[in-house]
Amino acid sequence: MAKILLEMKNITKTFPGVKALDNVNLQVEEGEIHALVGENGAGKSTLMNVLSGIYPYGTYEGDIVYDGEICQFNTIKDSEEKGIVIIHQELALIPYMTIGENMFLGNERGSKFKINWNETNDLAAEYLKTVGLKEMPQVLIKDIGVGKQQLVEIAKALAKKAKLLILDEPTASLNEDDSKALLELLLKLKKEGLTSIIISHKLNEISYVADKITVIRDGSTIETLDKMTDDISEGRIIKGMVGRELSDRFPKREKKCLTDEVMMEVKNWSVYHPLYMERKVVDDVSIHVKKGEVLGISGLMGAGRTELAMSLFGKSYGRDISGEIVIKGQKVELNSVQDAIKHKLAYVTEDRKGNGLILSNPIKINTTLANLGAVSNHSIIDKDKEYAAAVEYKEKLKTKCPTVEQNVGNLSGGNQQKVLLAKWMFAEPDILILDEPTRGIDVGAKYEIYCIINQLVAEGKSVIMISSEMPEILGMCDRIYVMNEGKMVGELSGEEATQEIIMSHILKADSKGE
């Protein structure tokens, strides 16, 4: 029988008004990949923050037994000294420092008074080779992609002599190829003796890479599934997560708004990069969306989908923008976000924490931000109207929170996404551009957001949906554009579209050098 490397016993953690963890138990064997799954707010990240010392000893109840010893971590440094290293979903790298500098930040090579740069870069190169990254240690972090940055984080963890590696949503921001490469690296490191705990909402990846899967629901341990003896299909994992079988991942739309009325048309739209002025990121794109339609835009990471969306939304991205936008038959000039909102266009960003929400502010303030006029009298915000509007959308979107006075930063990812949707729904748009609307949220919250999208189009609104998850695009969209390297390379009806056909359009475009 394999050695138990980690045992977390009866862990209970309470925040003001919320019991985040209730008597949670977890056992991890040496040399295995152990997955933690559960809906947003289930307590997965909280449990790992307890383990890594982010929530210090004394702020929770229960015991951590690591390598046969009861541990009481007061800081993250304490857990790292034992070989426990956590990599968070939001990568902790400094863009204008080199790979080598980032890898040994806080773990510097040399004396107390002088860093040995030769040793730093030589060691960095060694660990980069281990994770399969061919970049030089002197390259700046800002000059490499997100997939490579994730590998730098793993190399950084290995440089700290990690024995137990914790990865929180490691593939959330990666494309399919980078995700596959990361999972293969974890399997390689497992063969070399590294133990990993992985938190992920991508159940296909969990089924592929994990030896055991522990399901957490509402702050409690539900079950642990073993790949060797148990069914670990996506359906089985979902049942454990949500407490029921989810027979259809994408809700059927009861009432389709069948019309040929074009709500918005974009003609010959081109956009140049804001810094690299010779680089065209959107190249002569023409698209249209009908009233009551969910229009999908599919493509690989870097295809230009977000750049297109942001440039349409009041030219909030890019320079030397050219082309036409026609809304409800009228040519319009959208030179600012205010212009876009005035013409009933909304953009729900893929980066809810960075650009979409003010995490330190309450739900009620975030909900009304895009339409302050509706809750103001003579330019002074009416607090009662603001509160009533926030409560209305909390109930409409089934946002889980004790009160709309709660700060958005304290909500789970799925509930933050609902507040972001509420913010733009409160602006009463006719056209919503949703950029990765379900990124980093669990299967139950995804289903609820799909239902909200269906409700919006049933009311006659138009939704443009950008997603890197092809099953989501295929399951939700009436019509799909395929984008590659800034150009539209295909248009498909929802009925005819398959993953293979979408990829064939991308590959054909690549082979033509388009």
Beta 69-71 vs 61-66: how paired, if at all?
antiparallel
Q: Phi and psi dihedrals of 265, rounded to 5?
A: -130, 135
- Report, as an integer, the average pLDDT of 12-35: 90
Same-domain status, 298 and 383? yes
Bridge partners, 196 (sequence order): 33, 165
Mean pLDDT, all residues of the chain: 89
Q: In what order do the strands lie in the sheet with 61-66?
A: 18-29, 4-15, 61-66, 69-71
Tell me which of 118, 134, 159 is where a domain ends.
159
Q: How many CB atoms lie within 10 A of CB 356?
A: 23
- Asked if the model's pLDDT at residue 199 lies above 80, the reply is yes
What is the reported pLDDT for 210?
94
Q: What is the tens place of the pLDDT at every residue in 239-296?
A: 888 776 555 778 887 656 567 899 999 999 999 998 878 889 999 999 999 999 999 9
Please check whether residue 449 lies inside any domain of the structure. Answer: yes
**Higher pLDDT residue, 440 or 93?**
93
Residue 71 tokens read as 């541990």
Give pLDDT, residue 246.
Answer: 59
Q: What is the pLDDT of residue 486?
A: 92
User: For the residues 68-87, what does the mean pLDDT come to?
Assistant: 94
Alpha-carbon dihedral of residues 496, 498, 502, 508, nearest 10 degrees?
Answer: -80
| Complete edge-to-edge strand list for the sheet that includes strand 431-435 | 345-348, 431-435, 462-466, 294-298, 479-484, 487-493
Q: Of 52 and 256, which is predicted with more confidence?
A: 52
The phi-psi region of residue 323 (left if phi > 0; otherwise alpha if psi is between -120 and 50; otherwise beta) is left
Report the C-alpha gap between 7 and 21 in whole angstroms.
15
Q: Count structural domains, the chain.
A: 3
Residue 233 shares a structural domain with residue 211: yes
In this structure, the strands spanning 280-290 and 262-272 are antiparallel
- 196, burial (CB in 10 Å: exposed 0-12, middle 13-18, buried 19+): buried
What are the residues facing 140 on neighbouring strands? 98
The pLDDT of residue 445 is 79
Segment holding 505, helix H or strand E: helix 499-512
DSSP state of 111: -
Shared domain for 298 and 434, answered yes or no, is yes
Same domain membership, residue 373 and residue 292:
yes
Domain span at residue 64 reads: 4-83+163-242
**Final residue of a domain: which of 141, 159, 177?**
159
H helix or E strand, kind and range, residue 8: strand 4-15
Domain assignment of residue 192, yes or no: yes
pLDDT of residue 92: 82
Checking if the pLDDT of 42 tops 90, the result is no
CB atoms within 10 A of CB 442: 24
Q: Is the pLDDT of residue 441 over 90?
A: no
CB distance 151 to 170 below 8 Å = no
Q: pLDDT band at residue 348, thresholds of 50, 70 and 90?
A: very high
Q: What is the separation of C-alpha 281 from the centre of its chain, rounded to a whole number of angstroms? A: 23
- 64 compared with 252, residue with greater pLDDT: 64
Average pLDDT over residues 381-390: 94
Q: What whole-number distance in Å separates Cα of residue 406 and Cα of residue 383? A: 15
Find tokens 């009416």 and name the residue.
382
261-270, 311-320, 342-351, 404-413 — which is least confidently predicted?
A: 404-413
Q: Which residues contact 462 (CB under 8 A, 6 or more apart)?
A: 263, 264, 289, 290, 291, 292, 293, 295, 430, 431, 432
Q: How far apart are CA 180 and CA 165, in angstroms?
A: 18
Same-domain check for residues 420 and 321 = yes
For residue 333, being part of any structural domain is answered with yes
Handedness of CA 509, 182, 230, 248 (dihedral sign): negative
Nearest to 63 by CA among 80, 75, 74, 50: 50
pLDDT above 70 covers a percentage of the chain that reads: 96
Residue 254 pLDDT:
67
**111-120, 225-234, 319-328, range with greatest mean pLDDT:** 319-328
CB neighbour list of residue 81: distance below 8 Å, 6 or more residues apart: none
Distance between CA atoms of 239 and 245, rounded to whole angstroms? 5
Specify the pLDDT at position 514. 47
249 found inside a domain: no
- Residue 514, Cβ neighbours under 10 Å: how many? 12
**Do 151 and 15 sit in the same domain of this protein?**
no
Do 238 and 289 reside in the same domain of the chain?
Answer: no
Report which DSSP code applies to 315. T
Looking at the structure, tell me whether residues 342 and 301 fall in a common domain.
yes
Radius of gyration of the chain (CA): 24
Compute the Cα dihedral for 312, 314, 317, 318 and give only its sign: positive
- Which of 75-89, 164-178, 264-278, 323-337 has the largest mean confidence? 323-337
Do 167 and 70 belong to one domain?
A: yes
**CATH code, domain with 318:** 3.40.50.300
Question: pLDDT digits over 94-138, tens only?
Answer: 989 999 999 998 888 888 788 999 999 999 999 999 988 888 999
Mean pLDDT along residues 480-504: 90
* More confident position, 385 or 301: 385
Structure tokens at 316: 């909030």
Going by DSSP bridges, is the β-strand pair 294-298/164-168 parallel, antiparallel, or unpaired?
A: unpaired
Query: Minimal CA–CA distance to 450: which of 408, 389, 398, 390?
Result: 398
Q: How far apart are CA 75 and CA 79, in angstroms?
A: 7
Domain-located, residue 387? yes
Task: Tell me, yes or no, if the pTM score tops 0.75.
Answer: no
Q: DSSP class of residue 261?
A: -
Residues 370 and 288 in one domain: yes
Alpha helices by DSSP H, listed for 407-489, are 413-426, 443-458, 470-476
What H or E segment, with its residue span, contains residue 152? helix 146-159
User: What does the pLDDT read at residue 509?
Assistant: 65
Residue type, 221: T
Statement to judge: residues 308 and 332 lie in one domain: yes
pLDDT of residue 312: 97
The mean pLDDT of 446-461, rounded to a whole number, is: 90
For tokens 């991205």, name the residue: 317
Structure tokens at 277: 């002025």
